[in-house]
Structure 1
Amino acid sequence: MRITSHKANQFFSLVLKILVVLAAVSFIWYRVTRDESMDFDRFVDILDRYRIFSYTNILILVLFSIANWYFEILKWQTLSSHVRDNSFMRSMRESLASFTAAIFTPSRIGEYGAKCLYYVRAEWRKIIFLNFLGNTAQLFATYFFGIAGLLFIITSVDLALPVFNIILVSGLLFVPFMAYFVMKKFKIRLKGYSIQRLEESFHKVSEEIRWKTLIFASIRFIIFTHQFYFLLLQFQVDVSYPLLIAAVFSTYILASIIPTMIIFDAFIKGGFAVWIFGLLQVPQIIVLTIVLTVWILNFGLPGLAGSYYVLRYKKAKHAIA
């Protein structure tokens, strides 16, 4: 009976892993070939016209993506050290596999559950919090650089913005801070968690881990925003560096205020990018092409790489006490 039950568990585990991978691959393929704002053939034609496919450009773009994910993995290795010593390779396996599981879930919820599967049940609460801490550090870096970018754009470009739009954007930017204040003031709980409890968990993590996490998150932000900037240069956008990088920073902060599935990340960023770069007279088709290219490099390819680790996942091997 136990043998039959064990085989059944193995079978259902295999089926689940295959379904996760198929879902991730299907979502990536859909994102690349069915973009409502960008015909795929036109996308390839534009990349070819501007020689984005040259060996030098491909090498530089891939190196940007590798560096981006190197620091993401390093960030998780640092955070998970609060629970156990983690090698870089094991951290890479956990990061990529959980990312694949997160592609088709709202606000990357799947990432939390997938990372837990690599740890014993007694550590799951800590892992969920550490993953939350890592994502919060990334959001903080986005807000820090993004607000600086928005302020630079506002003071450097003559914007004809209706008062309603200014109030709406300002309100959205401050929503996280207002939510934090309200939840703490009235002791509101979200799925059993309160701000006070989160703060207690935060202070239990060593200061060294917290600072390293924030530094790695900031480095990541600088890397993938400059990958965007590099593509702007390849598309011969003739605008000064300060204005271009401020526009990139602004795009990322505006996109970050709308929770969504990773698969729709390019669509959300594309909408904000078209608006922001339109102020600098950058053609819409170039902006959309760059957004989709960056999505493929930093989301699509890592998602496919993570599929390998999802299929190879074995609980007994990875859930180490």
Structure 2
Amino acid sequence: MRITSHKANQFLSFALKILVVSAAVYFIWYKLTSDEQMNLEQFLNILLKYRVFSFTNILVLLFLTFFNWYFEILKWQNLSAHVRKNSFKKAIKESLASFTAAIFTPSRIGEYGAKCLYYARNAWRKVIFLNFMGNMAQLFATYFFGIAGLLFLITTLDLPLPFFNALLVAGLLVSPFVIYWIMKKFRLRLKGYSIQRLEDSFYNVPEEIRWKTMIYATARFLIFTHQFYFLLLVFKVDVSYPLLISAVFSTYILASIIPTMIIFDALIKGGFAVWVFGLLQVPQIVVLTIVLTVWILNFAVPGVLGSYFVLKYKKTTPARP
């Protein structure tokens, strides 16, 4: 009976891994082939036209992608140290495998569950919180630079509907504090946690880990936004650095407002990017091509690499924290 049960568990585990990988690969392929604004052939032709595939360009883009994920993995290695000592190699496995599981789930929910599988059951709540803390650090970096970018654009450009733009920036500035106040006032919960419990859990994490998490999140943000900026240069967009990087920052903060599945990340960013860069007279087709290229480099490629770790996953008894 135990042998049969063991074989059944092995089969279910294998089937689940195949399902996760198949879903991730399908969603990536779906994104690349079903965009109504730009088909795959058109996308490739534009890349060839601007020589994006030159050796130097590919080297720079892959370099930035590597360090984007290097700092993401460092961030998780740093956070997971609050549960148990974690090697960089293990952090790679946990980060990429959980990312693959997150591709087809709303608001990256799959990432939380996938990371828990590498830890003892009694540490799952802590792992979920630490993952949430890492995502919030990334969101904070996006808000900090994004609001600065929006303020710079609004005060530099002669934009239409100045009142609306001022209202938008004001709303972005105060909305996190309003949400925080409402949740604390009415004792609402976020992912099963009350605000008071989140605060207690946050301050239970050593200060060194908190600061390192913020530094790694900031480094990541600056890397992938400058990857976007580098592509703007490749596509010969002749606009000053302050305006271009402010537009990139603004695109990311506007896109972060809408929770979505990773697979639709390029669609959401594309819509905001077209509007923001339209203010700088950047052609729509160039903006959409850059958004999709950045998505492939930072989401599709790591998602495919993570599939390997999903397939290699073996249920073990993790060390207790």
TM-score category (smaller protein) = over 0.9
Conserved 8 A contact 1:73-1:92: yes
Conserved 8 A contact 2:79-2:213: yes
Report the equivalent of 2:142: 142
List gaps (5 residues or longer) in structure 1: none
List gaps (5 residues or longer) in structure 2: none
Structural mapping, 1:197-208, within 5 Å: 197-208=197-208
Structure 1 residue 168: deviation in Å? 5.1
CA distance in 2, matches of 1:301, 1:287: 20
Amino acid at match of 1:118: Y
Does 2:291 correspond to 1:291? Answer: yes
Report the equivalent of 2:65: 65
Does 2:79 correspond to 1:92? Answer: no
Report the equivalent of 2:281: 281
CA distance in 2, matches of 1:162, 1:196: 38
Conserved 8 A contact 2:277-2:287: yes
CA distance in 2, matches of 1:193, 1:157: 42
CA distance in 2, matches of 1:288, 1:192: 37
SS in 1 for 2:160: coil
Q: TM-score, normalised by structure 1?
A: 0.97
CA distance in 2, matches of 1:305, 1:190: 31
Give a deviation string over 1:128-158, Cα, whole Å, max 9, x none: 0000000000000000000000000001111
Structure 1 residue 192: deviation in Å? 3.6
Give a deviation string over 1:243-277, Cα, whole Å, max 9, x none: 00000000000000100000000000000000000
Structure 1 residue 165: deviation in Å? 6.0
Report the equivalent of 1:30: 30
Q: TM-score, normalised by structure 2?
A: 0.97
Judge which range, 162-171 or 78-87, deviates more: 162-171
Structural mapping, 1:48-127, within 5 Å: 48-127=48-127
RMSD: 1.3
CA distance in 1, matches of 2:142, 2:171: 17
Judge which range, 194-203 or 174-183, deviates more: 174-183
CA distance in 1, matches of 2:134, 2:288: 29
Give a deviation string over 1:162-202, Cα, whole Å, max 9, x none: 64565356435643321111111222234541100000000
Structure 1 residue 161: deviation in Å? 2.1
Distance 1:78 1:111, change over 3 A: same
Amino acid at match of 2:253: I
CA distance in 1, matches of 2:217, 2:127: 18
Report the equivalent of 1:320: 319
Does 2:303 correspond to 1:307? Answer: no
Structural mapping, 1:102-251, within 5 Å: 102-161=102-161, 163-164=163-164, 166-167=166-167, 170-171=170-171, 174-190=174-190, 192-251=192-251
CA distance in 1, matches of 2:278, 2:305: 34
Give a deviation string over 1:83-140, Cα, whole Å, max 9, x none: 0000001000000000000000000000000000000100000000000000000000
Amino acid at match of 2:309: Y
Judge which range, 270-279 or 186-195, deviates more: 186-195
The number of residue pairs the alignment matches comes to 320
Residue identity (%): 74
